[in-house]
Structure 1
Amino acid sequence: MSSLIRHVTVDCADPYVLATFWAEVVGSSLADDDFPGDPEVTVTAGAAALLFVRSDEGKSVKNRVHLDLQPQDRTRDEEVERLLLLGATVQGDHRRPDGSGWVTLLDPEGNEFCVERSREERALRSPAMITTDQ
């Protein structure tokens, strides 16, 4: 038997506020029993869920695990702009002149995540030029 990933857990100062941000990012909602002040808040995100757990420890170093997002109904650049309006900030811009690359953003508590190109944007490139860091 193998294991199933049930949650990707994020330690944070305010689970409700951060989960609300991420629910908007992934087009989902908080669990029905989650409210402001709760020590744990869940956002369903596809086959797994994001679990936000209150932690009194502040973030002090780069995340060892982060999410890579691929927009479904917009371009990478449009998605970056949408996420900036939701409260993300740019940590690093790794877009290349040929259109490949990604943008590293920070969520409202400083956790890194990346936005890659959409499937449609990837399809526009020649298969011989496709690399794993699109």
Structure 2
Amino acid sequence: MTSVLQNVAIDCANAYELALFWSKVTGRPLHPDDKPGDRETEVLLAEGPVLYFNEVPEPKTVKNRLHLCLRPDTSRDEEVERLLGLGATFVGDHRNPDGTGWAILADPEGNEFCVLRGESERA
């Protein structure tokens, strides 16, 4: 017997607004039934599980133990700039002079995620 990964759940203070941010990040739509004020929302990814946002009463207080890693279809640095323009904040720089490494950003509620090199940069 096995289990199938249904979703990646993200606790948050405002499910709809955070789902909108991640919808812009991924270029994928919200569930068609989601609307402002919903306490649970989903971003429907092209493949794999959905991103599920669930409102909780407590704020984020420490570093994530689980995080998302994004591989952009552009360069890593171009994607970092785009995401900063969407409302992300820069957390840490693990980019190396030889072009390897990643950047750590946080979404509008402080959840950290990594931006990896794009496919063309890895070739």
Q: TM-score, normalised by structure 2?
A: 0.97
What is the CA-CA distance between 1:3 and the residue it aligns to? 1.0
Task: Report the secondary structure of 1:99's partner residue.
Answer: coil
Q: One-letter code of the match for 2:76?
A: R
What is the CA-CA distance between 1:39 and the residue it aligns to? 0.8
What is the CA-CA distance between 1:120 and the residue it aligns to? 1.3
Q: Deviations over 1:53-89 (max 9, x none)?
A: 00110000000000000012x1000000100000001
Task: Report the secondary structure of 2:122's partner residue.
Answer: helix
Measure the CA separation in 2 of the matches of 1:69 and 1:117.
9
Q: One-letter code of the match for 1:52?
A: F
Q: What stretches of structure 1 move > 6 A for 4+ residues in a row?
A: none
Q: 1:19 aligns to what?
A: 19
Work out the percentage of aligned pairs sharing the same amino acid.
Answer: 57
Q: Deviations over 1:13-35 (max 9, x none)?
A: 00000000001111101101001
Report how many residues are paired.
122
Q: One-letter code of the match for 2:55?
A: R
Q: 2:70 aligns to what?
A: 69
Measure the CA separation in 1 of the matches of 2:43 and 2:6.
11
Q: TM-score, normalised by structure 1?
A: 0.89
Q: 1:81 aligns to what?
A: 81
Task: Report the secondary structure of 1:59's partner residue.
Answer: coil
Task: Report the secondary structure of 2:60's partner residue.
Answer: coil
Q: 2:113 aligns to what?
A: 113
What is the CA-CA distance between 1:102 and the residue it aligns to? 0.3
What is the CA-CA distance between 1:44 and the residue it aligns to? 1.2
CA radius of gyration, larger in: 1
Measure the CA separation in 1 of the matches of 2:39 and 2:16.
8
- Unaligned runs of 5+ residues in structure 2 are none
What is the CA-CA distance between 1:2 and the residue it aligns to? 1.3
What is the CA-CA distance between 1:119 and the residue it aligns to? 1.3
Task: Report the secondary structure of 1:19's partner residue.
Answer: helix
Measure the CA separation in 1 of the matches of 2:88 and 2:11.
17
